[in-house]
Chain A
């Protein structure tokens, strides 16, 4: 479980359109974005501007119509399905607006989920467990490790989701409205946590948000306007 810091993120002239009935909506129009190792950036924009679409393309959850995406010197979208899954598992961490915790698993198990996508040896499994413990300490939920999502508050669930996103020491952390469903105090606490962990692990981090408060905490900010990334 090595932290991958071998390169930055380069999004070049990426376009993406969707068909809605008989109409084609061009969400991204030759959007480009560069991010160096350890750098964090916030992307803002009105609803429907394509923020999440861009984030999903970067996260290899979707494929662009055109353009290239290079992460740590590799173009993952050219990889076959199995390789792509492994790349995503090792390189990218996600935090969604909705935490997407698995209700039947405990907090600890939810955090460990990405680490167990590929069968590792005993040493690797022990290391993952150790890492999960550290992260739960970091998000101040070690005492709730055996609890299940239904027994947590909204903020706690999102902190678990943050810990889960970081368990594989990804080089790129993608956060899609991480505080969108949280109240003010809770949202601030989660924001603090993200920024703190980013500072500690030096991952590349992209946060898509409506929140001007959250965006204001990032040195670099982009605005998605008319399908393009524009420095804000």
Chain B
């Protein structure tokens, strides 16, 4: 074997090199995948420091919860409180703005989470002597964006969440109240590494971080001593952290108050509404303790009117009527407090109100009050009641604490001094109203049945303002309060109280494996290159066998069993493959480094600052070697399998093709061709006849079947055409000459055809940005997409709302003719191809009814045929299931979901919710998020208040101006506006980056394929040098012979390109049908022309070899 290997060293060296290339590409692809994954892991570990878990709260809590939690955790664990806010920043002098700024309030403990990181030591935020404004540390990314340096002043604006939900009556609708800003001095700029890169969300692009001293930020939020997140470093499991948090929590941490009175306890919330889970837990705790429970819902009636007399601005309490005993006297002096008959609900007036209105039981009364309507606007509603009774001003009916401490009201001496967070007409307040206020403060003037009150006034945050618990006889209020608080907290998980415990390190590391396995992705990218290398190995090995045909024939003639001859060749092939593999492993690192360098450049917009590093994992290298050896040895085995079919006499004559006696096409090839083409037809028919839109997968399968069938047909033709006529024209001669070596010709056609299939399919997928103004385009016809860091509670689409937001006359003029559709946004991770990490909690958009009615965008699939796919969001599904729409690419490739599949999440109350995909959009601007109906959004994610995502229709050509105006005027809200077409283009640019990578690596495969083609032709020419010399002897000119060889080459190319292109076009037929106008046909034709040119160039090499062959030696050579 050694002598054979040495004797035939040139061809063996070529086989070894090709095997080396196959291994290098395969193992190198795994190396690239490992490297990206490892680099993303590095980023994760870097941005988190020692942090394992994070506790995120919707509402601020006392920062000292960190100490209580640490005490509950194992020794060594540390808990650091921070304030985490979204906001914006403006350079005070330069005016440069940055949106989507992460504002962190940190203290010295934060630095301990990044030991050894010099950047964290720079997070020294204490004010220096003489420094007027507090300190600010920026990371490099934000400093660059602002053009800020140490010593510069920067104004940071951020969301200020009021304790009362804004989208309730008492939350207030002043958008300015939702904002706070701080003027700060940049004390340091830290690199985008370590603490400078700190983020709780996975993302490969450096965040825009602004660090402020925790107390400074808390004070500006008007809540000194609070935090809204805890960073936990410790080895315990997340469940244990959650359990410890449960033990450490106090009611006050989550805004709950348990106020003792003489005979009862009152549980209420700083939010002025009790969450349903709290109500359920507290009721259960109360009842378990044998206490009577009184649920209360107190609301404000703008007016109660009957018989021409009216009372303005009264509180009304809904409660069980009559109330249970134990909560004070309930003395109905006249009439009955039972529900009135008929449809009109009952109301019980207090004595004062009854006298003031001059009503007696049985009279009808109309009440007007505010409700929160669409876009969180206050609307006036009316309800009619029948007076069921009059309660005396004593006991429960005289209790002013039934009314929560309403902001702007509770502390007013007179009604005329009210400054409520909703519009009031204080001119309606009469002297008698002032007297009532003096005497009874906010004591309710009317009482309605609890169910009726909840029907009218419930909000998405809850349906009770307080719960009262009766005390046991002899029980002290303080002891009862302690016991009840413990019982309530025992029944509630932190999630139900609005505190989410996230295993951020584990999730980040899991997300580092990417949306798709990077190793798999790059093996896919390099697949054609690998296939080409394997085919080249087969081709070269076959040539080696052909060169030794006589030797093999002699061995067989001498009585060697076929098996031993095969074994010999296989052993040689294996040695070559192993040696090539060893060489390839060395090259794999180089290939990996080259590809990483390449994607570092091509993917720069996606990757942000460079962070990729080479990671060589022995397991991956071993897997790459094993796989490539399997592929290479498989190729060799296929070649050897054919050896047994060649008669010994043919081998002795130097041929490994069966002599040209049998001109019938091989049945197997014919059968394969027929079967493959039938399969293609069946797949197309299935796809065309199936429900919904044509499945891309079926068409791709059909394309692959046509490719296989085409190759099989060519194989059959090669064999069948040997005895056929066809004339002696140059073209016919060229075609027939290719059939003379069917095996080699087939391999060459397979190489070229596969390359074309891949390149056509990829190129056809490369789309240009369509007409972005069309409603059925990916932009939906919207000119602009905007997103604000601080949600807007004012309506940007109305004149009043624009005025509230402080837009000037010029801004309003710029907005003329435009229409803005707001959407609710639940922050999360980017679910688009812009994020290399696997999103764990994708962003969600709440789609308003207005947008559903407007429609637009192009849908790729729907769960059922419909002319109004947006209406699918209106479907009522099972409890806990919400219909969702997503961009087809994100749903399929990033979230790995299909139509009808569900994504399981937890909502703001810790309840499981499943988002079911009911439709997918075709290449839209919604690639970063999932869309759900607003009603479901409000139900499940009530804490995401206001609107932070906006779509704007604008007159043609005004998008740029509109974006500029909105960004300038709403800079404090961190509004970032982008022309919708640009956003779409950004997504498509990433798609094109992937296609570029695929094409680049596919191009290398084509190069290898072309090398194979050149080898085939050169070998063919060398074998036929006698034949060519004979033709020259008979007067054929060099040029004629050159054309003959070129013709042969061209024929193989034409067949390969024809089969590959036809199959490729069929594979992407649904895409072509949907967007034929967007396919860059020119580029596609150019790609095919390139294949042809490269192939012909390979032919030219062969021609050159043919014409350099000396005439006489060729004539003398044996055939």
Contact = CB atoms under 8 A, between A and B. Distances in A.
Interface stretch (B37-45, B299-307, B732-740, B770-778): B732-740
Given A106-B725, A117-B1035, 19 more contacts: A56-B1115, A61-B1033, A82-B1037, A85-B1032, A85-B1037, A86-B1035, A88-B1033, A89-B1036, A90-B1035, A94-B1034, A96-B1030, A96-B1115, A100-B1026, A103-B740, A104-B722, A104-B737, A112-B728, A113-B1034, A151-B660
Contacts of B1029: 100
Nearest to A90: B1035
Contacts of A118: 1035
A48 to B, nearest CB: 13
9 nearest CB pairs, A to B? A89-B1035, A100-B1030, A114-B1034, A104-B740, A88-B1035, A85-B1037, A117-B1036, A117-B1035, A150-B660
Nearest to A161: B1030
A85 B1031 CA distance: 10
Contact of A89 (B660, B1034, B1111, B1115): B1034
A102 B1027 contact: yes
A127 interface: no
Interface string B727-752: 01000000011011000000000000
Contacts of A100: 1026-1027, 1029-1030, 1115, 1119
Interface in A123-178: 146, 148, 150-151, 164
Contacts of A86: 1035
Nearest to B727: A109
A72 interface: no
B1031 A117 contact: yes
A67 B1118 CA distance: 31
Interface string A169-190: 0000000000000000000000
B1112 interface: yes
A69 B312 CA distance: 131
Interface in B1031-1059: 1031-1040
A151 B1112 contact: no
Contacts of B1115: 56, 61, 96, 100
A107 B706 CA distance: 37
B659 interface: yes
Nearest to B741: A104
Contacts of A59: 1033
A50 to B, nearest CB: 13
Contacts of A62: 1111-1112
A213 B679 CA distance: 67
B70 to A, nearest CB: 87
B597 to A, nearest CB: 48
B785 to A, nearest CB: 65
Contacts of B912: none
A36 interface: no
Which of A62, A89, A94, A102 is the most central at the interface, judged by chain B CB atoms within 10 Å of its CB?
A102
A87 B1033 CA distance: 11
Interface residues of A, number: 34
A109 B456 CA distance: 99
Nearest to B1024: A102
A232 interface: no
A76 B660 CA distance: 39
A90 B1111 CA distance: 19
A114 B737 contact: no
A98 B1037 contact: no
A81 interface: yes
B439 interface: no
B1043 to A, nearest CB: 12
Interface residues of B, number: 31
Interface of A: 52, 56, 59, 61-62, 81-82, 85-90, 94, 96, 98, 100, 102-106, 109, 112-114, 116-118, 146, 148, 150-151, 164
Nearest to B724: A106
A61 B1111 contact: yes
B649 to A, nearest CB: 11
Contact of A98 (B739, B1031, B1118): B1118
A106 B733 CA distance: 12
Contacts of A94: 1030, 1033-1034
Nearest to A60: B1033
Contacts of A56: 1112, 1115
Contacts of B739: 104
Contacts of A117: 1031, 1034-1037, 1040
B659 to A, nearest CB: 5
Given A62-B1112, A98-B1026, A81 B1119 contact: no
B1073 interface: no
Contacts of A90: 1035
B728 A116 contact: yes
A90 B1035 CA distance: 8
B723 interface: yes
A118 B1037 CA distance: 9
Interface string B1001-1036: 000000000000000000000000011011111111
8 contacts: A52-B1116, A61-B1032, A81-B1038, A96-B1030, A113-B728, A148-B722, A150-B660, A150-B661
Contacts of A146: 723
A209 B723 CA distance: 35
Nearest to B729: A116
A88 B1115 CA distance: 16
Which of B1034, B1116, B1118 is the most central at the interface, judged by chain A CB atoms within 10 Å of its CB?
B1034
Contacts of A85: 1032, 1035-1038
Contact of A104 (B736, B1033, B1035, B1111): B736
A62 B1113 CA distance: 11
A105 B735 CA distance: 12
Nearest to B1040: A117
Contacts of B661: 150-151
Nearest to A93: B1034
Contacts of A148: 660, 722-723
A117 to B, nearest CB: 5
A52 B1033 CA distance: 14
Contacts of A81: 1037-1038
A98 B736 CA distance: 23
A117 B1116 CA distance: 22
Nearest to B653: A150
Contact of A113 (B660, B1031, B1037): B1031
Contacts of B659: 150
Contacts of A113: 728, 1031, 1034
Contacts of B1037: 81-82, 85, 117
Interface string B880-914: 00000000000000000000000000000000000
A94 B1036 CA distance: 13
Nearest to B650: A150
Contacts of B1038: 81, 85
B737 A61 contact: no
A184 B1038 CA distance: 38
A103 B1036 contact: no
A103 B653 CA distance: 13
B593 to A, nearest CB: 47
Which of A56, A89, A103, A146 is the most central at the interface, judged by chain B CB atoms within 10 Å of its CB?
A103
Contacts of B723: 106, 146, 148
Contacts of A96: 1030, 1115
Nearest to A148: B660
A151 B1039 CA distance: 31
A150 B1035 CA distance: 25
A131 to B, nearest CB: 14
Nearest to A94: B1033
A46 to B, nearest CB: 17
